[in-house]
Each structure stands twice: as structure tokens, then as C-alpha cells.
Amino acid sequence: MTLPTNIQQDNFSEIRASLKKTFASGKTKAIPWRQQQLLQLARLAQENAEALAESIHRDMGKPHLEIYLAEIGPIVQRSIICAKNVAKWAEDDDKSAEVDDWMKSWQPKIRKEPKGVALIISPWNYPLILSLQPLYGAIAAGCCAVIKTSEIAPHYSSLLAQLLPKYLDTDAYRVVEGAVPEITRLLELQWDHIFYTGNAHIARIISAAAARHLTPLTLELGGKSPVILDPEADIDLAAKRILYGKSQNAGQLCVCPDYVLCPKSVLEAFKQSLVEHAKAFWPEGSLKSASFGRIISDLHYSRLSSMLQDTSAQVIYGGSKDFEGTVDPAKRKRGLELTILELDKEHWDDDTLMKGELFGPFLPILPVDDVDEAIRFVNSKSHALVLYAFTRNEETKNKILQSTYSGNAVFNDTFQQLACGELPFGGVGESGHGRQILKYSFDIFTYERSVVDFPNEGEKSNDIRYAPYTDEKFKV
Ligand code: NAD
């Protein structure tokens, strides 16, 4: 990855220093300024929608419709919602502190203060929303920010680096492109908040770097999000919705349903429905379909291909590959078919498909005796980003919620929960910590500053606290 000529590694500390200076000037704190920048961000996404979609399509073969629905549309809409609400969100809060009457004259209140200059580190898989969603949070909060885009989505990254200065104030917001050497240098600097989206392995490097400066950190990670199927669910509809979730961006999605725990009593019906819906979604097969994405890089393609080769699971549908190499790796087509597999219980713990997050278009089905066995299996693994369950039974829903942990829990659909921007999104344990989207994104970059203002009057009642600590004072 070559750096754009305008950004040299040596400049990183200068960039940070200039953003610190802007922040110190107070410019980014003014509400009208924040609103104007938020609307400019919406404009950036809207006026360049086609070019942005094409850049992402070139990076990973993602269908344009998926990019509009999951990335560009939400960024335009949410930036505007933030512009409308930021004045309310940023208001001083003098109501939450319910103090005793004798303290009321102190006028206790909570100010919503911007943290300062943030570093936003984003991944390749939904490169637009995952870089600009934290950015609208930072703008709304009144922070400055450096956005470090992913080197694995170079077309998007370079387009954003060109567009951002045309729309946003570069005194406050900058894009830095680059890979490990650049991010390593950036992480040596002190930031007021680091927002990282990506895998849990790198999250440990980011956490260690943040710890050196005691920098607050948001970690938006992934992992294996399981699906529990209740035999009483609408099995055919469940199959259709699970397949939809699994196929978005060819399975390269943090909230992707990773595997399905399916009761044996409905196993055949479920498999049949999956295959029928797959044939309806991609009549010519997913590899030939323009409605199905491609694999991001040679590395991920070979990782996923090895899985297909090494798994002991039985392929029920799919399993084909299609690799068109060119000299330019960015132009290669790496196709992996949506593949449905059934995995015997004896291999649940050692099969390659179950070792880590799949992050590809494979759907393993694990036949279980019942929902209780499914819950026990889920609880034997790290806390998931999302737990999906398909059931119409309220008791089963409660049992699942009460006996499991996950960042989010979704009944009867997959992926679509992210459209609900008013709910906080984030992980727990290995799937991360911190909550984002709309007001929650504002909150990430804001800290609550407690303020009290003691009146000069009533000094007599303070006598007890001043030395000398006489015996009379102990008697009061
Ligand atoms: P990636 O490879 O693009 O890496 C993410 C960022 O980390 C990039 O900006 C990259 O430059 C940086 N990075 C890479 N190596 C580094 C190093 N050694 N030191 C410091 N920084 C480094 O993306 P990825 O990690 O492959 O992204 C996929 C993962 O992200 C999956 O696990 C997925 O579940 C997760 N994810 C989570 C969310 C969420 O919102 N929770 C969203 C999308 C993806």
C-alpha cells in the first residue's frame, strides 16, 4: 500500500497537533457548526452515492443494492437525524441529579463535553458505514477525528480521502490511509478516544496501545453469531431469512448468522427449505449471480477454500468455487458459492468450520435434540455479537434471553435489526464493548462532566468542616 503523497508518516503527529489546536479553539463545540458538518457528511454520501458504491463494488464485488441499503442510505439518514437532535443531546442536564433539598442551591448539573481528538480505525467489509458512522458520532459530540480506513478496501479508502476535504472542515477531520506501519505510528500518539472496528486479534494490539496512554476505547468486534431454531417456528420462513442474512456481502458481515442449531425433528424440512430458497434467490447459482458478492482478498479466499476442503461436514447445497486471476489483485474475481453443510455432533468442537468466525458464505447446520441442547452449546462458547433465535413461543424467548449472553438478541430475522438505529448496537466479552448508532454514537465521544456551584451564603453551616476539629464538633 503506497501512501497518498499528501500524507507522510512523519506528518501524523503534525496532523494530530493541528486537530488538537482546532479542538482547543472551541470551534467544533458550537452546535450550529456541528449541525453544518453533519449535513455536509450527509451530502458527501448522497451526492457521491454512485461513485462510492462503485468503489466498494470494485473492492469486494458487493452488489450495489446492498451498498445503498446497508451503507449509503443509513449514513445519509442518520447524519441528518443527528443534525436535528444534537442540540437536545448536548444540552446540560440539571434534572438527573436528584439531590436533597439542602444541596439544591449548589445547582448540580451534568455537562455533555466532547472528549477531544478521536482516532477511528475502520475495517474493509462495510467500509463506508463503519468509517462514517463513528465519524457522525464524533462530529455530533463536538470532537475532532482522524479516520484510518482499511487498506484492504483501497478504492473506497482513496475515494473517501479525496472527498472528505471537499465536504468537511479539514481543520477538524482527516482521513489517513495505510496499513500496519501507518496504524502502528498512529497508535503511538495520544488520542482522547479510540474507536476500533475489526477482529478480536487486532483488538488486543489496539487495547495495549490505548492502555499506554490510558485512552478510552470502543471495540466493535465480531465472532460466531449462532442461530437457535425452535421446532415450533415457521421453519420455511426461518430458512428464507437465515439465508438472506448469511448471503449479505457473501457472509463477510459481523452480524452474519454463523451456524444454525436445528432440532432433529425439523432438520429435513429446514434443509429442504434452505435449498429451495437458495434456488429462488440465485436461479443461475450464486457464483453466476450479480446479486451475490465476492470474497475480499486472496488471503480470505484461500482461508475459506481450505475450510471447504478440510471440513468433515456434509455439503447439502453449493460447494463450488470460481477464481479468475489477473495480474492486478484488486481486479481478481474470487467467487465462493453459498454453501449449506451438515455437521455431525462428534465434530462440533474440532471441525475447521467451528474454529473461529466463518466470515464467508458457508452455513453449517448442527442437528440438536432440542432448544435446551442448543442453549448449552451456545453457552459453551464466547459471548456472541448477536444471538438469533426463531420461535413464536414467548416462554422459549424468555428462556433464551435469561439463560444466554450476547451483545444483541434478535428473534425471527437476521441482519435487519441494524435498521433499528434507535437501539444500541455492540458486543459483550469477546465480541467487544461500547454501544453505537445515533445517540449512542454521540455518547461514545462525549463525557459527562459534573458541575456544582457553591453559593457564598450559608457559610455558618460549613463551620463543622474547618479545623480545628474540636470536641464540640464531634458532639453535633
Ligand atoms: P481489517 O483487516 O480491515 O482490519 C481492521 C483495521 O485494523 C484496519 O484499519 C487495519 O488497518 C487495522 N489493522 C490491521 N492490522 C493491524 C495491526 N497489526 N495493528 C493495528 N491495526 C491493524 O478488518 P478485519 O479485522 O478483517 O474485519 C473483520 C472483523 O471485524 C470481523 O471479525 C468482523 O466480525 C468484525 N466487524 C465487526 C463489526 C461491528 O460493528 N461489531 C463490523 C464489521 C466487522
Pocket test for ligand 1, best of 121, 199, 296 (most atoms within 8 A of CB): 199
Question: Which is more confident, 96 or 18?
Answer: 18
Angle separating helix axes 180-188 and 12-25, nearest 10 degrees: 50
**Residues with a CB atom less than 6 Å from ligand 1:** 121-126, 130, 148, 150-152, 179-180, 183, 197-199, 202, 205-206, 220-222, 254, 357, 359, 385, 427, 432
Distance 290 CA to ligand 1 centre (A): 26
Which residue owns the Cα nearest ligand 1 atom 43? 254
pLDDT the model gives residue 10: 64
Per-residue confidence at 322, pLDDT binned at 50, 70, 90? Answer: confident
Pocket test for ligand 1, best of 221, 225, 252 (most atoms within 8 A of CB): 221
Pocket test for ligand 1, best of 131, 195, 196, 197 (most atoms within 8 A of CB): 197
Q: Mean of the pLDDT values across residues 7-18?
A: 83
Q: Mean of the pLDDT values across residues 305-323?
A: 95
Pocket test for ligand 1, best of 150, 184, 303 (most atoms within 8 A of CB): 150
Coil/strand/helix, residue 252: coil
Distance 206 CA to ligand 1 centre (A): 10
Distance 194 CA to ligand 1 centre (A): 13
Distance CA 81, CA 72 (A): 14
Position in ligand 1 atom list of the atom nearest CA 206: 20
Q: Is the pLDDT of residue 239 over 80?
A: yes
Distance 197 CA to ligand 1 centre (A): 5
Which residue owns the Cα nearest ligand 1 atom 31? 199
pLDDT the model gives residue 127: 98
Distance 203 CA to ligand 1 centre (A): 8
Mode of pairing for the β-strands spanning 314-317 and 339-342? antiparallel
Per-residue confidence at 7, pLDDT binned at 50, 70, 90? Answer: low
Which residue owns the Cα nearest ligand 1 atom 9? 150
Q: Is the pLDDT of residue 47 over 90?
A: yes
The C-alpha torsion from 423 through 424 and 425 to 431, rounded to 10°, is: -140
Which residue owns the Cα nearest ligand 1 atom 3? 123
Position in ligand 1 atom list of the atom nearest CA 150: 9
Mean pLDDT score of the chain, rounded to an integer? 95
Instruction: Give the architecture-level CATH label for domain 226-422.
Output: 3-Layer(aba) Sandwich (3.40)
- pLDDT by residue (tens digit) across 139-153? 999 999 999 999 999
Q: Give CATH 3.40.605.10 domain extents, the chain.
A: 11-221+437-447
Distance CA 421, CA 417 (A): 8
Which residue owns the Cα nearest ligand 1 atom 14? 180
pLDDT the model gives residue 6: 46
Per-residue confidence at 324, pLDDT binned at 50, 70, 90? Answer: confident
Per-residue confidence at 353, pLDDT binned at 50, 70, 90? Answer: very high
Distance CA 115, CA 214 (A): 13
Distance CA 272, CA 243 (A): 12
Q: Which one of 3.40.50.300, 3.20.20.70, 3.40.605.10, 3.90.1580.10 gives the CATH number of domain 11-221+437-447?
A: 3.40.605.10
Question: Which is more confident, 476 or 294?
Answer: 294
Per-residue confidence at 2, pLDDT binned at 50, 70, 90? Answer: very low
- pLDDT by residue (tens digit) across 52-94? 999 999 999 999 999 999 999 999 999 999 999 999 999 999 8
Coil/strand/helix, residue 120: strand
Q: Is the dihedral of CA 168, 81, 64, 412 positive or negative?
A: positive
C-alpha cell at 338: 453459498
Which residue owns the Cα nearest ligand 1 atom 13? 180
pLDDT the model gives residue 327: 76
Which residue owns the Cα nearest ligand 1 atom 40? 220
Q: Mean of the pLDDT values across residues 208-227?
A: 98
pTM (predicted TM-score): 0.95
Using alpha carbons, select from 306, 281, 284, 414 the residue that is nearest to residue 360: 306
Q: Give CATH 3.40.309.10 domain extents, the chain.
A: 226-422
Indicate which residues carry an active-site annotation: 220, 254
Which residue owns the Cα nearest ligand 1 atom 2? 123
Per-residue confidence at 5, pLDDT binned at 50, 70, 90? Answer: very low
Per-residue confidence at 348, pLDDT binned at 50, 70, 90? Answer: very high
Helix (H) or strand (E) holding 144, with range, is: strand 144-148
Distance 129 CA to ligand 1 centre (A): 14
Distance 251 CA to ligand 1 centre (A): 15
Distance CA 362, CA 369 (A): 23
pLDDT the model gives residue 95: 86
